[in-house]
Amino acid sequence: MRAPQTPSIAVAARGEVKVTPDRAAIQISVQTRAATAAAAASQNATKLKAVIDALRAMGLAANQVTTMNYNVYPQQRYEPNREPVIVGYNVTNTLLVELTNLTMVGPVIDAALAKGANMVTSLQFSASNTESARREAIAMAIQKARGEAEAAARAAGGALGGVLEIGIGAYYPSPPRPMAMMRGAESAQAADTPINPGDQTVSVEVSTRWALIPGAR
């Protein structure tokens, strides 16, 4: 004969903890245009070297300034009922600048634009260590689940017993926080660029099951 099943209450809850980003990734591009691909590439190389030299002079290491993308493509003129005509070539070289000192984000952008960069297309912030925040979020979620289970037990005329089961949902690190950023060379002489990374949220979901003690008040 099977033993009677222990009455239980199932509760799911989420815990969320704020973390402060400590890393930044910036995409900075130099785009040039000329009549030939070789001329556009040569102009691009000259400007990009000036940008890299400026960033290295600010103390950035070689592994903090890396090439992310390089494109050469023709600029064409289209006319009705005619084949497209190539009128020039565009070269775009994009650098990925990675920073661990967030106070340098604004100065890096300004320095790059001042030395010939003409596009800043992406700025993302991230936190390097979210493990302690994840554990804090787990504890918070379980505490919340217990409170809800106690309320349910009282409403059912019983009392809450011990925890029978805890399931921790899959954890995915908080994705990098993007900031809208599309600044051109015409802004290079403007005031210093203000940057506020804000906070990120680490969230964890748990599923719990608690024993229900019937009829206790």
CATH at 10: 3.30.110.170
Is there a domain that residue 205 lies in? yes
pLDDT value of position 179: 53
> Both 3 and 30 in a single domain?
no
> Both 134 and 43 in a single domain?
no
Of 177, 154, 180, 149, nearest in space to 165 by CA: 149
> Both 121 and 96 in a single domain?
yes
> Both 134 and 64 in a single domain?
no
pLDDT value of position 196: 78
Cα dihedral 95→100→104→106 (10° resolution) = 60
Of 179, 206, 60, nearest in space to 125 by CA: 179
> Both 111 and 142 in a single domain?
no
pLDDT for 20-72, tens place per residue?
A: 899 999 999 999 999 999 999 999 999 999 999 999 999 999 999 999 999 99
pLDDT for 137-172, tens place per residue?
A: 999 999 999 999 999 999 999 999 999 999 998 766
Residue at which a domain ends, from 101, 126, 151:
126
3-state secondary structure of 183: strand
> Both 146 and 162 in a single domain?
yes
CA–CA separation, 65 vs 111, rounded Å? Answer: 14
Residue at which a domain ends, from 104, 126, 148:
126
> Both 53 and 87 in a single domain?
yes
Is there a domain that residue 192 lies in? no
Which band of pLDDT confidence, cut at 50, 70 and 90, is reported for residue 3?
low
Of 93, 97, 74, 77, nearest in space to 85 by CA: 77
Is there a domain that residue 13 lies in? yes
> Both 107 and 163 in a single domain?
no
134: which 2 tokens?
């994840």
Angle at 38 between CA 48 and CA 76, to 5 degrees: 100
pLDDT value of position 177: 55
Residue at which a domain ends, from 126, 158, 183:
126
Q: CB–CB of 48/95 below 8 Å?
A: yes
Q: Which residue did the predictor score with more confidence, 181 or 87?
A: 87
Is there a domain that residue 182 lies in? no
Q: What is the pTM of this model?
A: 0.73
pLDDT value of position 128: 84
Is there a domain that residue 119 lies in? yes
> Both 60 and 120 in a single domain?
yes
Q: Which residue did the predictor score with more confidence, 201 or 115?
A: 115
CA–CA separation, 161 vs 158, rounded Å? Answer: 9
Domain extent, residue 168, equals 1-19+129-174+197-217
What type of residue sits at position 49? Answer: K
- What is the torsional sign of CA 85, 86, 87, 90? positive
Cα separations (Å) of 186 from 49, 120, 157? Answer: 20, 12, 70
pLDDT value of position 174: 62
**pLDDT at 2 exceeding the cut of 90:** no
Domain count, the chain: 2
> Both 76 and 118 in a single domain?
yes
Q: CB–CB of 16/136 below 8 Å?
A: no
**pLDDT at 180 exceeding the cut of 70:** no
> Both 159 and 87 in a single domain?
no
Task: List the CATH number of the domain containing 63.
Answer: 3.30.70.2970
Which band of pLDDT confidence, cut at 50, 70 and 90, is reported for residue 200?
confident
Is there a domain that residue 32 lies in? yes
Which ranges constitute the DSSP H helices of 3-120?
Answer: 37-57, 105-114
CA–CA separation, 43 vs 31, rounded Å? Answer: 9
Average pLDDT of the chain is 88
Is there a domain that residue 186 lies in? no
pLDDT value of position 194: 74
Of 87, 88, 85, 79, nearest in space to 34 by CA: 88
